Amino acid sequence: MPKVKTLAKLFRAIADRDWGSAVQLARAVASEEESIGHRTAAQALRGSLNPNGKVRSRSAMTEDTGNHAAILGAALQPVRPALPLGDVVLRSAAREALDEVILEWRRRNRLQEAGLRHRANLLFHGPSGCGKSLTASALGAELGIPTYVVRFDAVVGAFLGQTALHLRELFRHAEMEPCVLVFDEIDALGKQRGNPLDVGELDRIVIALMQELEHCEAQGLVIATTNLATHLDAALWRRFDLTIKFPSPTKTEMAAYVRRTAKALGVRMRKRLRAEALRSKSFAGAEGVLVTEARRRVVREG
């Protein structure tokens, strides 16, 4: 049995993703076994370290770690919610579904004891400006974990297969750190397969995304958003544990939202302004009308 001290250092190196030290320590474990006459065990351990018969150099390992950090740094953009979840206008069905998600996450250890997992893969769909991205970031704040929006420009690689590798890095990260990982406008990645204009790489990306969603055991949540639900591959759609619709606001919802937002912005509601805000098709549209008015007021007074 290797010394606990060596194992503790090995675990520490893995936790720190210091792969160079991890490899050295793993070799030390094998040597310890050999030194007490456990030759077969030592051989088996060394074999596990080099499954393809190739010994990776320490510098190659360090390079991997550097790449890993570079990909995460470029692709994960931390975001903070504009509003707390309680202030987001949600239909009762959506609110109840999200309350369940929150409760499952808070009781995830109990679920685990029962051989179950919290629902982690969520898809938010609906028209533009109705709260999908806002809710995703507000959920992170509600759970007390960071929210990262995935930057597709950093994920999509120039070389064949690179995008799939980058996706894997992101999902592995979601398995290590409790966080909300948001694939905003996932239709950009998850278009229907078989599009004749795309030369295979798009198909591979969608397949990779589906595999990651299926196998990832995220500590927090993985949320995808889209306002082009019909463009999403049906098989990708099935990989989500829960799909929530964010519909266009009703007249009553919009009236309450306009009243509240105008008050928060200190905008006086004249009839014409109110009518213009209410004509908007989305909360974001109404907010835009009111912010423009607030801006005008400040400039006029200024």
Ligand X SMILES: Nc1ncnc2c1ncn2[C@@H]1O[C@H](COP(=O)(O)OP(=O)(O)OP(=O)(O)O)[C@@H](O)[C@H]1O
CA distances from 159 to 70, 162, 199, 201, 210 (A): 17, 5, 13, 10, 20
Q: Are 208 and 235 in contact (CB under 8 A)?
A: no
Name residues contacting ligand X, limited to 58-87 (CB under 6 A): 82-83
Residue of 121, 133, 226, 261 that binds Mg ion (CB under 5 A): 133
Q: Which of 171, 89, 188, 187 is nearest to 135 (CA)?
A: 89
Q: Pick the closer one to ligand X by CB: 77 or 227.
A: 227
The residue within the footprint of ligand X, chosen from 89, 170, 202, 267 (CB under 6 A), is: 89
| Of the candidates 3, 9, 34, the residue with the CA atom closest to the CA atom of residue 24 | 9
Listing DSSP states for 118-171 in one string gives ---EEEEE-STTSSHHHHHHHHHHHHTS-EEEE-HHHHS-SSTTHHHHHHHHHH
- Block residue for tokens 């009553």: 252
Choose, by CB under 6 A, the member of 2, 20, 131, 146 that binds ligand X: 131
Q: Which of 134, 139, 149, 206 binds ligand X (CB under 6 A)?
A: 134
Asked if residue 173 lies in contact with residue 130, where contact means CB atoms within 8 angstroms, the answer is no
CA gap 206, 200 in Å, rounded = 10
Site residues (CB under 6 A) for ligand X, limited to 224-253: 225, 227, 246
131 binds, among ligand X, Mg ion, none (CB under 5 to 8 A by kind): ligand X
Calculate the dihedral angle through the C-alpha atoms of 5, 9, 15, 18, rounding to the nearest 10 degrees. Answer: -170
Q: Which is nearer to ligand X, 118 or 132 (CB)?
A: 132
- Closer of 125 and 239 to ligand X (Cβ): 125
C-beta of residue 150 within 8 angstroms of C-beta of residue 182: yes
Pairing of strands 147-150, 76-79: antiparallel
Mark 85-114 with x for binding to Mg ion (rule: CB under 5 A) and - for no binding: ------------------------------
Residue 142 or 169 with smaller CB distance to ligand X: 142
Between 118 and 132, CB nearer to Mg ion: 132
Residue with the shortest CB distance to ligand X: 131
**Smallest distance from ligand X to CB 203, Å:** 25
* 226 forms part of the interface with Mg ion (CB under 5 A): no
* Contact region with ligand X (CB under 6 A), list: 27-35, 132-140, 157-165, 171-179: 132-140
Residues that bind Mg ion (CB under 5 A): 132-133
